[in-house]
Structure 1
Amino acid sequence: MQNKKIVITGGPGTGKSSVIKHLEREGYICYHEVSREITAAAQKQGISQLFLEKPILFSEKLLEARVKQHIEASLNEVSTVFLDRGIPDVVAYMEYFGTTYPQKFQQACEDHSYYRVFLLPPWEDIYQTDNERYESFEQALLIHDHLKKTYLSYGYEPIEVPKNTIENRSDFILNNIPM
């Protein structure tokens, strides 16, 4: 049985990780965002923002980690798994920054599909920056647009999750997945 891989995406600071953690507490199998780990590892090596300083290297590491998550999710025997961001997010961010990238990024998007994509919209009331999230809210708005455009370009129809409590947002997602 092929499971349903569900992507929860959106620009920075939209509540993705909070929703993923809530779904995980509810007993669902969830795969967490990997970019913070990559950024933190680079910072330990003295590179403050790997994506800004070496965007292709950062994106290659991110692509590798997201493909690995996709494969692990495919091997999981539960019917539905949730992923905090998908492979097309890597392409969307490179497009946002105007970074030229090799075709292997597009190929990975084509080779690894998802059942459904949920897009969390920018929400200024909850937006915060931190050591790994350096974008302004205005940049988060632009990133949201790039994410939506990228997922549409790969044939997905992202479902926008209404601004609400974490519990209600999680319920909205669950109610929009045929179980």
Structure 2
Amino acid sequence: MRRYVLTGTPGAGKTTLLRGLAELGHEVVEEAATDVIARAQARGEDEPWTRESFIDEIVELQRQRQLAAPGTNSVRFFDRSPLCTLALATYQGRPPSPALTAEIERITTHGVYERQVFFVRNLGFCEPTAARRISFQQSLEFERIHEETYRAFGHELVDVPAVGLARRIAAIDTFVSARRTE
């Protein structure tokens, strides 16, 4: 199975792209950090990202989802990966935890994700949500850190420019379809 990652700045439309790819019949895996935040906020915790265990909770959920029962398709798309979690830790000024370091070692050693990573470019704004409380300027810094992180691990960034949704989905689908024949 080929596992592709969608990454990029917060609010760039990764989740919307993921849903569009699912509508085309692709298997998709939702972002873990958003779910970790939503669960904590449902328990009354307003800013779970300030908790020391936050990064490790994301890593554990990402690992569980990646190791879930194999799908029926030859391609699966992931809304972020542990390298995104490393970028998040870097952005927050935290050193990588042993759990994060071990997970990055596992996915790197075993080639879990494709070397080509879809880098979804910002849309020129960042809409705040309960889980995303950063300004557009902050999101651009986060975008830069993601780009540097993936490049540092030798990934090829496949640019997904800020064009209409249908064009973005078609570009990703076309890229993946072309790779199936290789």
Using structure 2 for the length normalisation, give the TM-score.
0.89
Matches within 5 A, 1:136-175: 136-175=135-174
Matched, 1:95 2:93: no
Choose from 74, 80, 86 the match for 2:81. 86
Considering only aligned residues, what root-mean-square deviation do their CA atoms show, in Å? 1.5
The number of residues matched between the two structures is: 173
Q: CA deviation at 1:45?
A: 2.5
Residue type at the aligned position of 2:137: E
Deviation at 1:33, TM superposition (A): 1.2
The residue type equivalent to 2:39 in the other structure is A
What's the counterpart of residue 104 of structure 2?
109
Cα distance between partner residues in 2 of 1:142 and 1:22: 27
**Is this contact kept in 2: 1:110–1:154, CA < 8 A?**
no
Cα distance, 1:77 vs structure 2: 3.5
CA distance in 2, matches of 1:91, 1:110: 12
| Structure 1 residues 91-144: Cα deviation after superposition (integer angstroms, max 9, x where no partner) | 00100111123233123123113113101112225x311111101000110000
Task: Report how far residue 44 of structure 1 moved.
Answer: 2.5
CA distance in 1, matches of 2:155, 2:104: 11
Unmatched tracts of structure 1, length 5 or more: none
CA–CA separation in structure 2 for the residues paired with 1:159 and 1:110: 23
Cα deviation, residue 71, structure 1: 1.4
Return the letter of the residue paired with 2:146.
Answer: L
Aligned counterparts of 2:6 and 2:175: Cα–Cα separation in 1: 12
Q: Which consecutive unaligned segments of at least 5 residues does structure 2 have?
A: none
1:37 deviation in Å?
A: 1.8
CA contact (8 A) 2:58 2:85 kept: yes
TM-score of the aligned structures, taking structure 1 as reference length = 0.90
Identity %: 24
Query: In the alignment, does 2:5 pair up with 1:10?
Result: no
Distance of aligned partners of 1:38 and 1:104 in 2 relative to their CA distance in 1, 3 Å threshold:
closer
